Amino acid sequence: MSHPHPELGAPPKLPKGGLRVTPLGGLGEIGRNMTVFEYDGRLLIVDCGVLFPEEEQPGVDLILPDFTILQDRLDDIEGIVLTHGHEDHIGGVPFLLRLKPDIPLIGSKLTLALIEAKLQEHRIRPYTLEVAEGHHERIGPFDCEFVAVNHSIPDALAVAIRTPAGMVVHTGDFKMDQLPLDRRLTDLPTFAKLGEEGIDLLLSDSTNAEVPGFVPPERDISNVLRQVFAGAQKRIIVASFASHIHRIQQILDAAHEYGRRVAFVGRSMVRNMGIARDLGYLRVPAGLVVDVKTLDDLPDDEVVLVCTGSQGEPMAALSRMANRDHQIRIVQGDTVILASSLIPGNENAVYRVINGLTRWGANVVHKGNAKVHVSGHASAGELLYFYNICKPRNLMPVHGEWRHLRANAELGALTGVPKDHIVIAEDGVVVDLVDGKARIVGKVQAGYVYVDGLSVGDVTEAALKDRRILGDEGIISAFVVVDSTTGKVVGGPHLHARGSGIEDAAFDAVIPKIEEAIAKAAQDGVAEPHQLQQLVRRTLGKWVSDNYRRRPMILPVVVDV
């Protein structure tokens, strides 16, 4: 199995007749999925998603793929194929289309409807091409065939990309539920035909590669939800992804059965469920869904609220309810259902929300204590089955952290893919398919691009480090006025601390040290304000470290008069 090395340099020119695969996101992480395919100077992109920030990225709203390698080649892009409508696959599209708004978007009916609604908010009117399973589309030099796959959102597609260099199949996110709620199975017969034709490179979902066996069917959850609804005494509040249409359908069915009305809370939830209902993907009995403003007129035992926030996002509705910062107040006897899995890295945030809800008296039902969610990704048993059907000549695990990619590679090897034909790459690692063999040939820039409010890419790792220091250690400001002629201190030092745990009165002990250091600097001929600021920072920082074992941010200001 080949894998990236830190010494990788820039990739060489793509050999004539070769196909280049460059993942810009989704490998080594769960999120911001994006892969660029290149043949004969033309580019095809599959997915363009976002990653949601973790605690060590304070103030960040979203994390995008790095579009640097595309900025000088925007006219070479033939289109963006979107495998399905989850945020980690479509959320970055508005930011890429800001660079070139007329890049065609190719996807299924529901996927395009979701991204078009999102683009409306960005005032972008995209050029779209709707496809469905069984469709073939020639997109520049890329002959694309679309294949139905089952996932936790309707209308998901895999794509087979044919070029003279060979056939590449990208699964997107998939599983093999044999009893799907929408009766839309992963199309194994078509994958078998592709396997017989010869899949030169398979890019396969790795998320659950470590999990043995098969994912339970979605319909198993319906009975559990009915039990929760039957035992609920007051309001039921369900938190889910705003795109998890299958799960919302099960909630609607249970609410209808138990005589409850449903209200959607949150802009993305209201928008997506409206789209799903209008397109026929969500079946809503007449009178079941009501406006959230009418809930005060209904008894608590006739109310179901469906909101976002299942991952503990601080600004989502559920987190705000847990913090008593929402118009909907949790009361004793409410039932809260977290109808989703935990995305790696979100565990602490989710448990913090669960604790907050429990504190106000809610009965919280989540994956840890009830079967209220099943994964949308194939487990190891399904992947083995899939590889035996597809018989790929080369395998490149995608969509997962390193442990998932490695586990998926091992599964491929067990089914007979030669180990030297299995490529474990990560974001930015370039893979060329030449003469039927996939090889790592170099690496390109593929770092995190942070979105903070209206700012895109302006927040750097250094800025995040400063934010972490401010959050963890606090800040101390130091203001000193010196005589520009003599170098003596004529004002201050004035020291103030915020968030450092040090009282301002304690600084009386360090002020003489700062004055002494400035006086010595004056004797040595050091009078430039910037140099004196560094001197104040070092002196004050050493005193804080020696006495408090802390490292707050220190902002010295030296003014000469």
Statement: residue 300 has pLDDT above 80: yes
pLDDT at residue 54 in the model? 60
**In the predicted model, what is the mean pLDDT of residues 138-143?**
96
For residue 532, CA distances in Å to 92, 154, 243, 386, 514 come to 45, 63, 56, 67, 10
Buried b (16+ CB within 10 A) or exposed e, 477-492: ebbbbbeeeebebeeb
Of residues 175 and 307, which shows the higher confidence score? 175
Instruction: List the chain domain ranges.
Output: 19-213+375-456, 220-365, 461-560
Percent helix, strand, coil in the chain (nearest 5)? Answer: 30, 25, 40
For residue 297, CA distances in Å to 60, 287, 305, 326, 329 come to 39, 15, 14, 19, 16
Which of the four pLDDT bands, split at 50, 70 and 90, describes residue 2?
low
Q: CA 106 from chain center: how many Å?
A: 21
3-state secondary structure of 35: strand
Of residues 520 and 386, which shows the higher confidence score? 386
Amino acid at 173: D
Task: Decide yes or no: CATH 3.40.50.10710 for domain 220-365.
Answer: yes
pLDDT at residue 370 in the model? 76
CB 82 within 8 A of CB 112: yes
pLDDT at residue 472 in the model? 62
Statement: residue 409 has pLDDT above 80: yes
CB 162 within 8 A of CB 132: no
pLDDT at residue 412 in the model? 97
* In 258-395, alpha helices (H): 267-278, 317-322, 347-359, 380-390
CATH number of 19-213+375-456: 3.60.15.10
Statement: residue 130 has pLDDT above 80: yes
pLDDT at residue 453 in the model? 58
pLDDT at residue 1 in the model? 62
Which of the four pLDDT bands, split at 50, 70 and 90, describes residue 137?
very high
pLDDT at residue 55 in the model? 58
CB 150 within 8 A of CB 185: yes
**In the predicted model, what is the mean pLDDT of residues 463-490?**
68
> Of all residues in the chain, what percent carry a pLDDT higher than 70?
89
Of residues 55 and 187, which shows the higher confidence score? 187
- Number of C-alpha atoms within 13 angstroms, CB side, residue 372? 25
pLDDT at residue 312 in the model? 61
What span, in angstroms and rounded, lies between the C-alpha atoms of 15 and 484? 65
Decide the pairing of beta strands 77-81 and 105-107: parallel
CB 308 within 8 A of CB 240: yes
Element (H, E) at 189: helix 188-197
CB 107 within 8 A of CB 131: yes
Which of the four pLDDT bands, split at 50, 70 and 90, describes residue 148?
very high
Statement: residue 531 has pLDDT above 60: yes
CATH number of 461-560: 3.10.20.580
DSSP string, 439-479: EEEEE-----EEEETTEES---HHHHHHHHHHHHH-EEEEE
Statement: residue 466 has pLDDT above 70: no
Of residues 24 and 341, which shows the higher confidence score? 24
User: Residues 420, 28, 36, CA angle at the centre, nearest 5°?
Assistant: 75
pLDDT at residue 75 in the model? 95
pLDDT tens digits, one per residue of 75-96: 999 999 999 999 899 999 999 9
User: Residues 497, 499, 501, CA angle at the centre, nearest 5°?
Assistant: 80
Amino acid at 77: I
Which of the four pLDDT bands, split at 50, 70 and 90, describes residue 510?
confident
Which range (204-213, 354-363, 405-414) has the least confidence? 354-363
Which of the four pLDDT bands, split at 50, 70 and 90, describes residue 354?
confident
CB 317 within 8 A of CB 309: yes
Here the tokens at position 101 are 């708004």
Of residues 50 and 515, which shows the higher confidence score? 50
**In the predicted model, what is the mean pLDDT of residues 162-184?**
95
**In the predicted model, what is the mean pLDDT of residues 259-282?**
91
Name the pTM for this structure. 0.81
Statement: residue 439 has pLDDT above 90: yes
Statement: residue 59 has pLDDT above 60: no
pLDDT at residue 448 in the model? 82
Amino acid at 70: L
pLDDT at residue 538 in the model? 81
Please, what is the average pLDDT of the chain? 87
Which range (18-32, 362-376, 409-423) has the least confidence? 362-376
Statement: residue 48 has pLDDT above 70: yes
CB 235 within 8 A of CB 334: yes
**In the predicted model, what is the mean pLDDT of residues 465-477?**
65
183: left (phi over 0), alpha (psi -120 to 50) or beta: left
What span, in angstroms and rounded, lies between the C-alpha atoms of 49 and 65? 8
Statement: residue 334 has pLDDT above 80: yes
pLDDT at residue 500 in the model? 67
The residue count for the chain: 561
Beta bridge partners of 335: 236, 363
**In the predicted model, what is the mean pLDDT of residues 377-383?**
96
Here the tokens at position 312 are 């503990």
Which range has the top average pLDDT, 17-21, 319-323, 346-350?
Answer: 17-21
pLDDT at residue 52 in the model? 75
Which range (262-266, 283-287, 317-321, 499-503) has the least confidence? 499-503
Statement: residue 467 has pLDDT above 70: no
**In the predicted model, what is the mean pLDDT of residues 109-134?**
93
pLDDT at residue 317 in the model? 78
**In the predicted model, what is the mean pLDDT of residues 30-50?**
95
**Contact partners, residue 6, CB within 8 Å, separation at least 6:** none
Residue (of 122, 153, 112) closest to 104 by Cα position:
112
**In the predicted model, what is the mean pLDDT of residues 487-513?**
76
**In the predicted model, what is the mean pLDDT of residues 402-406?**
95
